[in-house]
Amino acid sequence: MTQIKICPGSCDTGAKMQHAAFKLDKVDCSACPIRHRAVCARCEEDELERLNAIKFYRSYKAGETIVWAGDAMDFVASVVGGVASLSQTMEDGRRQMVGLLLASDFIGRPNRNTVAYDVTAVSDVTLCCFRRKPFEEMLVDTPHISQRLLEMTLDELDAAREWMLILGRKTAREKIASFLSIIARRESATDGAEVGSDVAFDLPLTREAMADYLGLTLETVSRQMSGLKRDGVIRLEGKRRVLVPDFNLLLDETGDDADGGVLV
C-alpha cells in the first residue's frame, strides 16, 4: 500500500494520512502542506483569495493517466501530494520519462493549452488545479506568482540538465546510485529529517518506471540494485524501502565530484 505523507506542518503522530484523507473541498490555503513551496509561495492574503476562487482539487489513483500528450488541458496545477511523471513515448514503445513531479511541483504551461507530454500518476496523487484562463490573467498582474513560476522553471531546467548528464554519460550503476541519492535528498528535504549518516526512504517508482527515468531496461535496473545491495551500499526491506547505511558510500558510486561545488 503506497502511503504518502502529506501531513501539513507538524503532523508527527505515527498515524499516516492517506491521500483520500485530504478532503477535496476548498481547503484553506493556510493549512495547505505546500503553501510555502508551490507557485503560490510568495502570495499575500488577497492574492491567495483570488487563487482560491479559481481553484479546485482533483485526485488520481496510482497508474492513472492525468493527461495524454497533445490533449487540451483547461487547467494548470500544483502537486499537493504523491508523485506524477512526465513522459514521452515513441511509436515503437520506447519510453523516456522527462520529468518527475513531487509535492509543490507545477504542471502545465501558461499560454499553451495542449500538453506536450503524457502526465501520469505514479502514486496516488492530489492536484490543486487552477482554471487556465483566470490563472493566466493573474500571471500578468501578479508578480508574486510570475516571479515564483520563473524561479521554479529555472530549477526544473537545472534538474533537467543534471539529468542529461546522467542519461548521456553515466554507467548503469552510476545512474542507479544517482537516482537513489536524488530521491534520498528530496525525501529528506520534505521530511525535514536530519541528514544523518543513516538514511532510509521508500522508492516512489517501480523498477520499470526507474528504467524509464534512467534510460535503462527494467532488468538492468534490477541487476544494478542487486549489485549495490551485494556490495553493501544499500539494504532493501521489501522491494520498495531502501536503507543507506553510509550516504557517502552511495555518493561515491554516482560518479559525481566527491564533494565538488558546494552550491549554496
Residues that bind its own copies (CB under 8 A): 69-70, 86, 88, 90-92, 94-96, 98-99, 109-111, 114, 116-117, 140, 143, 146-147, 149-151, 153-154, 156-158, 160-165, 167-169, 214-215, 255-258, 261, 263
CA torsion sign for 143, 148, 154, 160 is negative
Residues in the chain: 264
* Element of type H or E holding 230: helix 218-230
59 binds, among DNA, its own copies, none (CB under 5 to 8 A by kind): none
Cβ atoms 132, 76 nearer than 8 A: yes
Q: Which residues bind DNA (CB under 7 A)?
A: 1, 63, 171-173, 206-208, 215-223, 225-226, 236, 238-240
Q: Which residues of 71-106 are buried (b: 16+ CB within 10 A; e: fewer)?
A: eebebbbbbbbbbbbbbeeeeeeebebbbbbbbbbb
Closest approach, Cβ 252 to DNA, in A, equals 16
Residue 174 Cβ, how far from its own copies at the closest point, in Å? 9
Phi first, then psi: what are they for 34, rounded to 5°? -110, 15
Cα atoms found within 13 Å of the Cα of residue 184, Cβ hemisphere only: 24
The number of beta carbons lying within 10 Å of the beta carbon of residue 218 is: 14
164 binds, options DNA, its own copies, none, Cβ within 5 to 8 A by partner type: its own copies
Which of DNA, its own copies, none does residue 238 bind (CB under 5 to 8 Å by kind)?
DNA
CA-to-CA distance for 40 and 100, rounded, in angstroms? 20
Nearer to DNA, 158 or 208 (CB): 208
Least spacing, CB of residue 206 vs DNA, in Å: 3
Q: Identify what 109 binds: its own copies, DNA, none; CB under 5 to 8 Å per kind.
A: its own copies
**Contact partner at residue 248 from DNA, its own copies, none, CB < 5 to 8 Å by partner kind:** none
Of the two residues 143 and 232, which places its CB atom closer to its own copies in the complex? 143
- Shortest Cβ distance from residue 138 to its own copies (Å)? 13
Residue 151: name its binding partner from its own copies, DNA, none (Cβ under 5 to 8 Å by kind). its own copies
Burial class from Cβ neighbours inside 10 Å (0-12, 13-18, 19+) for residue 176 reads buried
